[in-house]
Amino acid sequence: MEAISLIGPNTEALLLENQDNFLVPADNVATVMYQHSLDHALLVLTNVGYSKIPVLDKDDRFMGLIGLNDIVQKMVSLTTIDTDHLAGLTVADVMEIGVDTVREDAALEDILHLLVNNAFLPMVDDQRIFLGIITRKEILKCTNHLVHELERQYLLVPKQPGGSDTETATDGLKVS
């Protein structure tokens, strides 16, 4: 059974006008490998300025996410901060697994729902090869485009009380 999209076709078309910018390609995303030390992950996270980054295996398969908070929790006790607690630990010891991912053919509506609770979504293929990330920031740029272009490109007419949805859906938005 195919899911019914709640996003109107004209709205979706405007949102998708800049869809080429949705994906930040894997080559442009800071990552670490699951067998890297936590010291290394802390160094990467600190240098790139992100709070979380993807974790990959040696074949570029997406494994999970590692965040500054995951590492800091291993360093902090009730009374001290001790980086020595990181010795001998790897990214695999603290990374988040089972995180939301999307595929290339993901519906826009699904992406929007997932980005409510995620700053970014890793995109993977059928073998879980990491392709890049879709960021909330890029989607918000498209939303900004939508709110600026909607009334420039369409004449909005309020639905008439008692009219059928199919009547008003086709008559309510007209391309100018």
With respect to residue 113, please indicate whether it lies within any of the assigned structural domains: yes
Domain presence at residue 73 = yes
φ/ψ of 134, rounded to 5, equals -105, 120
In a domain, 168, yes or no: no
In a domain, 159, yes or no: no
Q: pLDDT tens digits for 115-159? A: 999 999 999 999 999 999 999 998 888 888 788 888 888 888 888
The pLDDT assigned to 168 comes to: 47
Q: Quick check: is 161 in a domain? A: no
Give the tens place of pLDDT for each residue, 71-115: 998 888 767 777 777 888 999 999 999 999 999 999 989 999 999
171 domain-assigned: no
Alpha-carbon distance of 23 to 123, in angstroms, equals 8
Is residue 72, in this structure, part of any structural domain at all? yes
How far is Cα 141 from Cα 18, in angstroms, rounded to an integer?
9
Q: What is the CATH number of the domain that holds 45?
A: 3.10.580.10
Q: Is residue 146 part of a domain?
A: yes
Domain count, the chain: 1
In terms of residue numbers, what domain contains 62?
9-153
CA 123 and chain centroid, separation: 8
- The helix or strand, by DSSP H or E, that contains position 175, with its residue range, turns out to be strand 173-175
pLDDT tens digit sequence for 154-170 = 888 888 887 655 554 45
pLDDT of 1 reads 40
